[in-house]
Amino acid sequence: MKKIKILPTSHKVNRSFGGTVGLFLFILTVACFMALPMVLIISNSFKPLDELWAFPPKLFPVQPTLRNYSDMMDVMADSLVPFTRYLSNTVFITFAGTLGHIILSSMCAFVFAKKSFPGRKVMFETVVLTLMFNATVTAIPNYLVMAKLGWINTLFSLVVPALASPLGLYLMKQFMEQSIPDALIEASRVDGASQFVIFWRIVMPNVKPAWLTLMLLSVQSLWNIGGTTYIFSDEKKTLAYALHQITTAGIARAGVSAAVSVVLMSVPIGIFLFSQSKIIETMAASGMKD
């Protein structure tokens, strides 16, 4: 069966030239304010220590240097646990947690969006209700569950809770309802397609913007996770924990702290730049209508 691609609907905007220019200037101003903290962090990572504490502060370095990054690598090289171990732990947690979260959330969302069963509304409202709870509120119940399963001080204690994040289920369910018409599902079923084929070859390709958005949110969360609540062995801790330990030496490592921030935010930003068009599409109304 060929994959069916659902094209987004186009809308013609009726706006005057002056309105377009004004809107562009407004968006540009807001974008500059939002980008300023990121530009400042990246700029600080290339400043020598004397420029970091200069007054009045300068946005860009006068004498840029890579000393902060070299100092960061030197500190990591002197660590009892190799830098590659921290990195491999973080990559495994991020990859396994993100992949599992996308698959599990998509499968559950497909059932909620396109299947009718008793208690569906109540169950979904319960999922929405869980979005109100902060992670701190569920920290103790999660720890008790992980301890009961014997997963304390293992990487599974960080991967498994990430699989059941309610935000992914909510996002995928809402997007499937808007983008996948019931007529398409029924036509595929009449053609003899199984539930797995409908889900994998019809639904998933057409909700790509949604699961790309979910991938970005999941990677951002897992890449920066410390994991000190569940993991106490240094060889099983994450890159974020190791890098944050560098910044505890005080003002002498202010430049190294900026370099650490750049390293930690580079992966989520890279993924966003790669999939930004699809992420923006998630927030727009698109798809075929009955």
Per-residue confidence (pLDDT) for residue 274, from 0 to 100? 75
pLDDT at 104: 92
Residue 102 has a pLDDT of 92
Q: What is the model's pTM? A: 0.77
Q: Which residues of 74-105 are buried (b: 16+ CB within 10 A; e: fewer)?
A: ebbeeeeeebebbeebbeebbebbbebbbebb
| pLDDT at res. 285 | 42
Dump the DSSP string for 134-173.
-TTTTHHHHHHHHHHHT-TTSTHHHHHHHHT-HHHHHHHH
Query: Which DSSP category does 61 fall into?
Result: -
Domain spanning 66-282, CATH architecture: Orthogonal Bundle (1.10)
The pLDDT value given to residue 290: 41
Give residue 12's pLDDT: 54
Q: Mean pLDDT, consecutive 10-residue segments, the chain of 290 residues?
A: 51 67 88 86 87 83 87 78 84 92 92 89 89 82 90 90 88 87 87 88 86 86 84 86 75 79 83 70 46
Chain CA centroid to CA 166, Å: 14
Largest Cα span, the chain: 72
Domain layout of the chain by residue ranges: 66-282
Rounded Cα distance between 67 and 51, Å, is 13
Encoded tokens for 50: 């004397």
- The tally of CA atoms less than 13 A away on the side-chain side of residue 232 is 2
Q: What is the pLDDT of residue 286?
A: 39
